[in-house]
Amino acid sequence: MPLRVPPPLGVLRLRLDNAEGSCGDHAGRQKLRELVGDLVDTFGGEDFSVEEFLRVARDAELETAIRGLLFASELPGFVTSPVVVSRLRDADSETPRFQISMHVRNDEPVAGTVRMVVSISDVAPTIVGRPIPIPGKVLDRTRAHL
Mean pLDDT, the chain, rounded, equals 75
pLDDT band at 2 (very low <50, low <70, confident <90, very high): very low
Backbone angles phi and psi of 121, in degrees to 5: 40, -115
Closest CA to 21 of 87, 75, 66: 66
pLDDT over 60 at 141, yes or no: no
Whole-prediction pTM value? 0.51
Model confidence at 118, pLDDT cuts 50, 70, 90, reads confident
The pLDDT of residue 16 is: 53
What is the helix, strand, coil percentage profile of the chain, to 5? Answer: 40, 20, 40
Alpha helices in the chain (DSSP H): 7-27, 29-43, 50-59, 63-71, 141-144
Mean pLDDT throughout 44-56? 87
At 50, give phi and psi (nearest 5°): -60, -40
Q: pLDDT tens-digit profile of 74-97?
A: 888 999 999 899 998 877 777 888
